[in-house]
Amino acid sequence: MDLAELFEQGGPLMWVILASSVVGTAVFLERLWSLQRARVLPRSFVDRIRAMVSKGKTSEALLLCEENGSSVAMLMAAALRAFGYEKNRAEIKEAVEEVGNREVAGLDRNVEIVGTVASASPLIGLLGTVIGMIQVFQGFVETYPAVRPDAFAQGIWQALITTAAGLTVAIPMLMAYKFLQGRNDRIIVAMEEDAMGIVDLLEDAMRSTRAQRRADAERRRSEPSAAAPEPHEAGR
């Protein structure tokens, strides 16, 4: 018996299991593409922004972050924007966390669909088996005592097809779901580290700016005031 005959023997719920497997696979592939580190967390871009911030080029760095559009760029842009408004470290960090929550929600988008397929597929298969067993025993009661044991056994194994199909879909979907969760967690941790690195650099820049301002103020105070011009003697 080939797969097409097995599929037909499994009943209408086999179509539900097939549809769920197609949806789960499509979402997994889409998330796999979207969660590439090069798209979410481009390392060369992060290093470039750090170098620019270290040199005090915060305005240029902000423009690059807004043009890049990656998740880590949005976090860095929030930090640089808050720095431009002369916020302190706590306020800069709060701005980064606010944007970070939105970016994390975007990274997690649709991942739960894969988990739902992994959880629901065996239950759908079990439902098909239960329905099949009900039909088998109903037929047994209606045809008793003329029912043959081989017909009874055939009805049971046909009913178990949906359970096997549900498990066949659920196991790889569960592995795919855990894989996506793990990748998400690693990316989020790396994003937080890079964002906090920018916050630290901005804090150093703020300290340097304040120190420079204090030095300028002290220098102005220490400079001798210009002597007032002496009045010209009145002509005799």
The domains of the chain are located at: 10-210
pLDDT tens column, 19-38? 999 999 999 999 999 888 88
Neighbours of 109 (CB within 10 A): 13
User: Residue 151: what pLDDT?
Assistant: 63
Task: Please determine, for residue 141, whether its predicted confidence score (pLDDT) is greater than 80.
Answer: no
Neighbours of 12 (CB within 10 A): 9
Residue type at 203 in one-letter notation: E
pLDDT tens column, 63-119? 999 898 889 999 999 999 988 887 888 888 899 999 999 998 888 888 999 999 999
Q: What is the pTM of this model?
A: 0.78
Q: Per-residue pLDDT averaged across 135-154, rounded?
A: 69
| Mean pLDDT, the chain, integer | 84
